[in-house]
């Protein structure tokens, strides 16, 4: 027979698990490094003089390419046209959140 006591334990455990998961995600979001996604292959060969760098970061983070800050919208999206020199171009991208935590990505682009 199902009694209230048999229902309270599983429901109570489930509620506690959900609360702990929520707190874990919040702590990770607060203490973790910002997300940085760049829509560009790791090593790329191009012939054009410029390339468009697009990507996304965490909200309230700033993005820099070779130490130059980019405009980031409210959703964390960014886009920038980068001029390329002949030969190998190394782009150092970093996302910095308001607590100073940083995520780095390096892209290598060869212009022929």
pLDDT at position 93 is 96
Give percent of the chain above pLDDT 90: 66
pLDDT tier, 60 (very low <50, low <70, confident <90, very high otherwise): confident
How many domains are contained in the chain? 2
> Has residue 51 got a pLDDT over 90?
yes
pLDDT at residue 4, rounded to an integer: 79
* Burial zone of 36 (CB within 10 Å; 0-12 exposed, 13-18 middle, 19+ buried): buried
- The 10s digit of each residue's pLDDT in 85-103 is 999 999 999 999 988 899 9
Q: Over range 9-20, report the average pLDDT.
A: 91
pLDDT tier, 6 (very low <50, low <70, confident <90, very high otherwise): confident
Whether residue 101 is found in the same domain as residue 51: yes
Residues 26 and 43 in one domain: no
Indicate if 23 and 49 belong to the same structural domain: no
Q: What's 64's domain CATH number?
A: 2.60.40.10
pLDDT of residue 103: 94
Higher pLDDT, 87 or 7: 87
pTM summary value: 0.72
* 95 and 58 Cβ atoms separated by less than 8 Å: yes
Same domain, 48 and 89: yes
Helix (H) or strand (E) holding 37: strand 36-38
Task: Domain of residue 56: give its range.
Answer: 36-111
Question: CA separation (Å) from 45 to 39, 91, 110?
Answer: 15, 13, 5
- Which residues are within 8 A (CB) of 82 and not within 5 positions of it... i.e. 6 or more apart? 50, 51, 52, 53, 65, 89, 91
């Amino acid at each position: 027979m199902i009694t209230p006591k048999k229902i309270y334990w599983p429901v109570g455990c489930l509620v506690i698990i959900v609360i702990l998961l929520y707190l874990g995600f919040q702590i990770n979001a607060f203490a973790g490094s910002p997300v940085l996604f760049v829509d560009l292959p790791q090593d790329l060969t191009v012939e054009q003089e410029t390339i468009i760098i697009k990507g996304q970061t965490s909200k309230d983070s700033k993005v820099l390419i070779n130490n130059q800050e980019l405009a980031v919208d409210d959703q964390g999206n960014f886009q920038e046209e980068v001029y390329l020199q002949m030969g190998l171009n190394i782009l150092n991208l970093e996302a910095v959140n308001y607590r100073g935590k940083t995520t780095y990505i390096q892209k290598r682009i060869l212009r022929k």
